[in-house]
């Protein structure tokens, strides 16, 4: 497909893979060969993995990470700026000649960082959705309405406010247990309650509408419970109909082995995902990705960044559990390992609206990550514990909650501490490297799940036995 053809089809989704790449390996379009100064926003394991990948690009001039963590400085320069202080970011970008801002976490996107820079003379490119697009994550009610408008498969739902509590209770009576209640707004990943009894569900509805999650739960989405296995699909889109599907991953949200106990930010991840096979992914692309990309264009919503589809496989049929407007964490800590292509031209292509001819090649190996966390997480936990044992050969350690002390020693500074990522020719080999590294990292109170990937191994074995 020629570039001209792509320009002619700009407002219509183009296929995921270019028919013929106009590039040779390691080469980018001439207009894009100027080395880029990049500012990456965030401080988690996800940003460490993005920094690792971006830092390998021949197209990179300099990488800044704001604020970064105790591991990101291996790949770029940490800058003590808040991702939410747009004025300070703008001033820094001007001073340092930043060409492109890559936004790791959702908060700046939901707060409108894309729009802040969009109209400014000489402003850097921003990889991400506009504020209107970020509402796909910032408001579950908006996301559900969007899916209904575009015929995207998702659980049946209705939304309620304190004025409609009685109707909410009636709707709960129509549904079968378990009951799923979601705060409409951002709630740091804690805004979803799943309740087994109708009485508990009604009580929780009242509590949520009464301010359990502050303003975020002033509207509550109640939806049908879907039974199945979940996976995370990431799409990079350029707002002009061009998109690329990244390697699929599965994360492990609960703190306890066997998926028990409270939800966390994510305790590990694996890619590829056995059940997300070609047939499943064809359905995902046709029924979910294309209608999403087209729907955003039809609604005039500017979206030049990552779309994260939280999917559930209901007996072979993909349904959307949620949209996020960023990469997943810890999924990024495996997805970055499995992108063989240079990521930087793809990010630039997305931000410029011309992704259509750029290849995204996948590394055929398996990638796994095991998160070591602070004792007590996801409840309260101590910080400032000295970390040793980070010289691990077969794993790549993506730091999350770590920081450097003045004397250069490494300290814990968060609940999720380090994502121990590794490659393998198969799931077992990758997991062996990840678990070995997780065992070697040492600090007081360390905990990690030893069953990451076990469910997928069982699925692979069952498929192989057929
Ligand atoms: P969310 O923040 O929307 O991703 O929800 C958090 C988690 O709650 C999901 O990853 C699922 O495990 C679970 N969940 C959310 N919605 C549903 C649903 N409709 N049916 C079953 N599980 C759900
Ligand atoms: N791992 C799930 C998330 O990033 O929201």
Report the alpha-carbon distance of residue 358 to residue 240 in Å, rounded: 14
* pTM as predicted: 0.92
Q: Report the separation in Å between the CA atom of 211 and the middle of ligand 1, taken as the mean of its atom positions.
A: 21
Q: 155 in ligand 1 pocket by Cβ < 6 Å?
A: yes
Checking if the pLDDT of 3 tops 80, the result is no
pLDDT in tens, 42-82: 999 999 999 999 999 999 999 999 999 999 999 999 999 99
Checking if the pLDDT of 13 tops 80, the result is no
Q: Report the separation in Å between the CA atom of 309 and the middle of ligand 1, taken as the mean of its atom positions.
A: 12
**Confidence at 33, pLDDT banded by 50, 70, 90:** low
What are the start-end ranges of the H helices in 284-359? 290-298, 332-335, 343-352
Mean pLDDT of 319-331: 97
Closest atom of ligand 1 to CA, residue 140? 3
Nearest CA to ligand 2 atom 4: 328
pLDDT at residue 263, rounded to an integer:
87
pLDDT at residue 188, rounded to an integer:
79
Q: Report the separation in Å between the CA atom of 349 and the middle of ligand 1, taken as the mean of its atom positions.
A: 32
Checking if the pLDDT of 7 tops 90, the result is no
Ligand nearest to the CA of 266: 2
Nearest CA to ligand 1 atom 3: 322
Q: 266 in ligand 2 pocket by Cβ < 6 Å?
A: yes
Q: 231 in ligand 1 pocket by Cβ < 6 Å?
A: no
pLDDT in tens, 278-291: 999 999 999 999 99
Nearest CA to ligand 2 atom 2: 328
pLDDT at residue 28, rounded to an integer:
42
Nearest CA to ligand 2 atom 3: 328
Closest atom of ligand 2 to CA, residue 330? 1
Ligand 2 pocket check: which of 42, 44, 266, 373 to mutate, most ligand atoms within 8 Å of Cβ? 266
Q: 180 in ligand 1 pocket by Cβ < 6 Å?
A: yes
Mean pLDDT of 111-128: 94
Report the alpha-carbon distance of residue 133 to residue 103 in Å, rounded: 14
pLDDT at residue 355, rounded to an integer:
92
Checking if the pLDDT of 17 tops 80, the result is no
pLDDT in tens, 211-269: 999 899 999 999 999 999 999 999 999 999 999 999 999 999 999 999 999 889 999 99
DSSP 34-88: SPEEEEEEE-SHHHHHHHHHHTT-TTEEEEEEEE--TTGGGTSEE----TT-HHH
pLDDT in tens, 169-219: 999 999 999 999 999 998 877 889 999 999 999 999 999 999 999 899 999
Look at the block and give the residue holding tokens 């939800």. 263
316-352 b/e (C-beta count within 10 Å ≥ 16 → b): eebbbbbbbbbbbbbbbbbbbbbbebbbbbbbbbbbb
Mean pLDDT of 282-308: 98
Nearest CA to ligand 1 atom 11: 321
Checking if the pLDDT of 307 tops 80, the result is yes
Mean pLDDT of 119-125: 91
Give whole-number Cα distances, 62 to 97, 101, 147, 389, 461, in Å. Answer: 10, 12, 39, 29, 45
Q: Report the separation in Å between the CA atom of 465 and the middle of ligand 2, taken as the mean of its atom positions.
A: 32
Q: Report the separation in Å between the CA atom of 43 and the middle of ligand 1, taken as the mean of its atom positions.
A: 25
Ligand 1 pocket check: which of 263, 264, 322, 331 to mutate, most ligand atoms within 8 Å of Cβ? 322
Nearest CA to ligand 2 atom 5: 328
Nearest to 397 by CA among 333, 445, 331, 443: 333
Number of other CB atoms surrounding residue 298 within 10 Å: 12
Number of other CB atoms surrounding residue 200 within 10 Å: 15
Q: Report the separation in Å between the CA atom of 120 and the middle of ligand 2, taken as the mean of its atom positions.
A: 31
């Amino acid at each position: 497909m020629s570039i001209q053809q792509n320009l002619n089809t700009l407002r219509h989704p183009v296929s995921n893979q270019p028919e013929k790449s106009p590039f040779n390996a390691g080469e980018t379009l001439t207009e894009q060969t100027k080395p880029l100064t990049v500012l990456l926003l965030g401080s988690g394991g996800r940003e460490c993995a993005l920094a690792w990948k971006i830092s390998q690009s021949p197209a990179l001039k300099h990488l800044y990470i704001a604020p970064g963590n105790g591991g990101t400085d291996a790949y770029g320069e940490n800058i003590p700026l808040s991702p939410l202080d747009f004025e300070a970011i703008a001033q820094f970008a001007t001073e340092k000649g930043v060409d492109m801002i890559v936004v790791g976490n959702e908060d700046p996107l939901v707060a409108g960082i894309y729009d802040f820079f969009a109209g400014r003379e000489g402003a850097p490119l921003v990889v991400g959705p506009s504020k209107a697009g970020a509402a796909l994550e910032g408001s579950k009610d908006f996301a559900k309405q969007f899916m209904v408008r575009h015929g995207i498969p998702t659980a049946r739902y209705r939304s309620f406010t304190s004025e409609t509590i009685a109707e909410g209770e009636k709707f709960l009576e129509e549904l079968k247990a378990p009951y799923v209640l979601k705060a409409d707004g951002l709630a740091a990943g804690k805004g979803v309650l799943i309740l087994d009894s109708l009485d508990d569900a009604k009580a929780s509805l009242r509590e949520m509408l009464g301010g359990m999650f502050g303003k975020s739960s002033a509207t509550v989405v109640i939806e049908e419970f879907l039974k199945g296995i979940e996976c995370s699909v990431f799409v990079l889109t350029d707002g002009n109909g061009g998109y690329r599907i990244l390697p699929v991953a599965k994360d492990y949200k609960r703190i306890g082995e066997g998926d028990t106990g409270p939800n966390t930010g994510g305790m590990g991840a694996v890619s590829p995902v056995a059940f997300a096979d070609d047939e499943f992914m064809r359905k995902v692309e046709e029924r979910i990705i294309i209608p999403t990309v087209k729907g955003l264009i039809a609604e005039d919503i500017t979206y030049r960044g990552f779309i994260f589809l939280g999917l559930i496989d209901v007996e072979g049929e993909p349904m959307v559990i949620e949209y996020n407007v960023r990469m997943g964490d810890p999924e990024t800590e495996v997805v970055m390992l499995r992108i063989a292509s240079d990521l930087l031209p793809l990010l630039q292509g997305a931000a410029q609206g011309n992704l259509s001819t750029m290849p995204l090649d996948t590394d055929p190996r398996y990638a796994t990550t095991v998160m070591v966390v602070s004792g007590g997480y996801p409840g309260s936990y101590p910080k400032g514990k000295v970390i040793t044992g980070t010289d691990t050969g077969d794993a790549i350690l993506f730091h999350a909650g770590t920081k450097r002390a003045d004397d250069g020693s490494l300290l814990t500074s968060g609940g999720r501490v380090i994502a121990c990522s590794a490659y393998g020719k198969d799931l077992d080999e990758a997991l062996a490297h990840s678990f070995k590294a997780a065992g070697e990292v040492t600090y007081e109170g360390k905990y990690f799940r030893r069953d990451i990937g076990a469910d997928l191994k069982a699925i692979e074995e069952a498929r192989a036995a057929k």
